[in-house]
């Protein structure tokens, strides 16, 4: 079903006209209300009046994650706090997360956007939707919750309750649609197998998965294990959360909610815009957001624009490929997003070790594990060395668990052994999981 026919099937000419009008009013608003944009527009001598077509976007400066970090917590907000009715943030308890705010209108738009994604995935008012994304500062739970309610489905805010409970809910509440991270879906399917529950005996029809990379191989494992058909969905906190793009029944890429977000793909080195079919970094400009508008935000996600050709589903919106990777070394681990710099920060604040470390990721029987190899410094106390090392290991593990919520195995390595292998650049992340 097409949830918002007016917007999702609009002619290309009308859509581009709408986008330009909305872009211009966004540019005026950010110039007036956000000190950062006033400064960069002035520095780059941007004349807003001259932005008349989508091609002119290239004359606007980019916004980066670093810019957002510097504006922590509220400096990028374009309205006073009294007009903000909801606050979410990116993950990451060390370093500064990006804090985003929504006005009442933003919430209304966001709800419409996630409803469209769910409807494209096949969800109707007859469905019982189990939402197993976190309901907290993370946007996944609340974002999809609102959209599913707007469709009129029966919504179960299961959040990330333990898997046994998820399965109990699925069986007893007769869940027909599951929305969660693909890695969590895989865990559920493994548990079903362990408990000898045949997925055919459940009521599941549709899975809406996203918020982390997942391959076609993983898709087929989940579809078999849960006996459902699945749709990929993409979004990020900075732009709105879930609700940016999603697959329809034609699996032709992910339709972008273009009346709210203008997408570009740029070359990762030259930052010049690329043509459809060429892979590069996704860049988004929000054109309706009031609370936290962003101009040409570099997402760090690698994908390509598929084409402007209408899809078999009738939607005319631009589609992007599935996400092929990232420009940075962000780790996706069991539904959690980690930057190696977060581990580095923990290690830098620990006595007795050097700042050299390596993260090894492995997958056995669909279960991921993380080992952090840390180089100890030379100056070890002579007495009771073993107990000292054991304490050191425990203390690093517990710091990692409390700050990034991951149980990592800590391996203490000889002084010089990690840095020694590659003097200039230590490969910080070794991902042996085979598939993401």
List interacting residues with ligand DLL (CB under 6 A).
90-91, 133, 138-140, 210-213, 232-237, 241-242, 299, 301, 323, 326, 337
- Name the residue nearer to ligand DLL (CB basis): 147 or 225: 147
Show the tokens assigned to 206: 């549709």
The least distance separating ligand DLL from the CB of residue 414, rounded to whole angstroms, comes to 35
- DSSP states of 59-84: GSPPB-HHHHHHTTTTTT-SS-GGG-
φ/ψ (deg, to 5) at 39: -60, -50
| Residue 386 three-state SS | helix
| Residue 118 three-state SS | helix
**If we measure between CA atoms, which residue out of 123, 103, 99, 332 comes closest to residue 210?**
332
The least distance separating ligand DLL from the CB of residue 424, rounded to whole angstroms, comes to 27
The least distance separating ligand DLL from the CB of residue 232, rounded to whole angstroms, comes to 5
Q: How far is residue 425's CA from residue 79's CA, in Å, rounded to a whole number? A: 43
- Name the residue nearer to ligand DLL (CB basis): 31 or 135: 135
- Report yes or no: 202 and 128 within 8 Å, Cβ to Cβ: no
The least distance separating ligand DLL from the CB of residue 183, rounded to whole angstroms, comes to 11
- Name the residue nearer to ligand DLL (CB basis): 330 or 347: 330
| CA dist 18 → 59, 60, 260, 278 (Å) | 19, 19, 10, 26
- Name the residue nearer to ligand DLL (CB basis): 91 or 176: 91
- Name the residue nearer to ligand DLL (CB basis): 240 or 372: 240
- Name the residue nearer to ligand DLL (CB basis): 140 or 293: 140
The least distance separating ligand DLL from the CB of residue 359, rounded to whole angstroms, comes to 17
Cα of 256 vs its chain's centroid, Å: 15
The least distance separating ligand DLL from the CB of residue 371, rounded to whole angstroms, comes to 23
- Name the residue nearer to ligand DLL (CB basis): 60 or 132: 132
φ/ψ (deg, to 5) at 378: -65, -40
The interaxial angle of helices 12-33 and 35-43, nearest 10 deg, is 100
The least distance separating ligand DLL from the CB of residue 324, rounded to whole angstroms, comes to 9
- Report yes or no: 67 and 298 within 8 Å, Cβ to Cβ: no
Q: How far is residue 432's CA from residue 345's CA, in Å, rounded to a whole number? A: 24
- Report yes or no: 131 and 158 within 8 Å, Cβ to Cβ: yes
């Amino acid at each position: 079903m097409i949830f918002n026919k007016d917007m999702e099937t609009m002619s290309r000419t009308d859509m581009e006209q709408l986008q330009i009008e909305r872009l211009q009013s966004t540019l005026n608003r950010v110039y007036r209300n956000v000190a950062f944009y006033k400064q960069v527009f002035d520095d780059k001598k941007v004349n807003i009046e001259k932005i008349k077509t989508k091609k002119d976007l290239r004359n606007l400066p980019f916004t980066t994650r670093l810019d957002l970090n510097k504006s922590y917590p509220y400096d990028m907000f374009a309205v006073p706090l009294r007009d903000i009715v909801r606050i979410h943030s990116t993950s990451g308890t060390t370093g500064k997360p990006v804090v985003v705010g929504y006005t009442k209108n933003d919430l209304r738009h966001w709800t419409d956007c996630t409803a469209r994604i769910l409807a494209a995935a096949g969800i109707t008012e007859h469905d019982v939707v189990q939402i197993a994304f976190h309901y907290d500062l993370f946007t996944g739970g609340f974002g999809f919750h609102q959209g599913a309610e707007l469709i009129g489905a029966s919504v179960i805010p299961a959040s990330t309750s333990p898997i046994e409970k998820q399965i109990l809910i699925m069986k007893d509440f007769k869940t027909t649609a599951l929305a969660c991270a693909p890695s969590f879906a895989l865990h559920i399917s493994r548990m079903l197998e362990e408990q000898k529950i045949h997925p055919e005996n459940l009521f599941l029809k549709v899975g809406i998965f996203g918020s982390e990379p997942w391959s076609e191989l993983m898709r087929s494992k989940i579809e078999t294990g849960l006996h459902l058909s699945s749709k990929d969905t993409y979004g990020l906190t900075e732009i709105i959360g879930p609700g940016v793009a999603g697959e329809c029944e034609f699996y032709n890429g992910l339709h972008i909610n273009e009346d709210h977000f203008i997408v570009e793909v740029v070359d990762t080195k030259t930052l010049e815009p690329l043509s459809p079919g060429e892979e590069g970094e996704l860049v988004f400009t929000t054109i309706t957001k009031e609370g936290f508008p962003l101009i040409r935000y570099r997402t760090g996600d690698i994908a390509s624009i598929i084409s402007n050709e209408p899809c078999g589903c009738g939607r005319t919106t631009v589609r992007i490929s599935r996400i092929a990777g990232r420009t940075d070394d962000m780790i996706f681990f069991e539904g959690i997003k980690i930057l190696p710099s977060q581990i580095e920060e923990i290690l830098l604040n620990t006595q007795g070790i050097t700042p050299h470390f390596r993260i090894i990721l492995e997958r056995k029987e669909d279960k991921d594990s993380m080992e952090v190899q840390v180089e100890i410094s030379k100056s070890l106390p002579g007495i009771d060395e073993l107990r000292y090392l054991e304490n050191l290991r425990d203390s690093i593990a517990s710091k990692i668990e409390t700050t990034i919520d991951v149980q990592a195995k800590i391996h203490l390595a000889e002084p010089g052994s990690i840095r020694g292998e590659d003097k200039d650049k230590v490969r910080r992340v070794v991902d042996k999981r085979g598939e993401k």
